[in-house]
Amino acid sequence: MATDLYSHFHPDEHRFVDKAQEWIERAARHHAVKQTDFLDPRQGFIVQSLANRYGDVQIRFDGGYERAERKRAIIAPLYRDIGSDDAGIGLLSVTSEDSRFEQLEHGDFLGALLGVGIKREKIGDIHVGDSGCHCLIASEIIDYVHLNLQQVHRVHVLTETLPLHHLQAVSQTLEEMNLSVASLRLDGIVSDVYRLSRAKVLQPIKSGRCKVNWKPEEDPSKPLREGDVVSFQGFGRFKLIEVEGETKKGRIRLKIGKFV
Predicted pLDDT of residue 134 = 98
DSSP annotation of 22 reads: H
Q: Which of 128, 122, 121 is nearest to 106 (CA)?
A: 128
User: Where would I find the beta strands (DSSP E) of the chain?
Assistant: 34-39, 57-62, 71-77, 89-95, 123-128, 133-138, 151-152, 155-156, 158-162, 174-181, 210-212, 215-216, 229-232, 236-246, 252-259
Q: Enumerate residues 6+ apart whose C-beta is below 8 A from 27.
A: 33, 34, 57, 75, 76, 77
* Amino acid 3: pLDDT: 56
Q: Which amino acid is at 122?
A: K
pTM: 0.85
Are the C-beta atoms of residues 50 and 11 closer than 8 Å to each other? no
Q: What local confidence, expressed as pLDDT, does residue 234 receive?
A: 87
pLDDT of residue 7: 77
Angle at 90 between CA 85 and CA 94, to 5 degrees: 165
Average pLDDT of each block of 10 consecutive residues along the chain (260 residues)?
70 92 94 96 95 92 96 96 93 96 92 96 95 96 98 96 96 90 96 95 95 94 96 94 92 93
Q: What is the CATH number of domain 25-86?
A: 3.30.1370.160
The DSSP annotation for 208-231 comes to: T-EEETTEE---TTPBP-TT-EEE
Question: What is 89-166's CATH number?
Answer: 3.30.70.330
Position 260, amino acid: V
- For 215, phi and psi rounded to 5 degrees? -105, 130
Q: 18 in helix, strand or coil?
A: helix
Tell me how far apart the alpha carbons of residues 156 and 96 are, in angstroms, rounded to a whole number: 7
User: What is the CATH class of 174-259?
Assistant: alpha beta
Report which of 136, 59, 129 is spatially closest to residue 91, judged by C-alpha positions. Answer: 136
Cα distances (Å, whole numbers) of residue 252 to 70, 181, 214, 219, 247: 33, 5, 25, 20, 6
Residue 90 is predicted with a pLDDT of 98
Domain map of the chain by residue range?
25-86, 89-166, 174-259
Helix (H) or strand (E) holding 200: helix 198-206
pLDDT at 1: 47
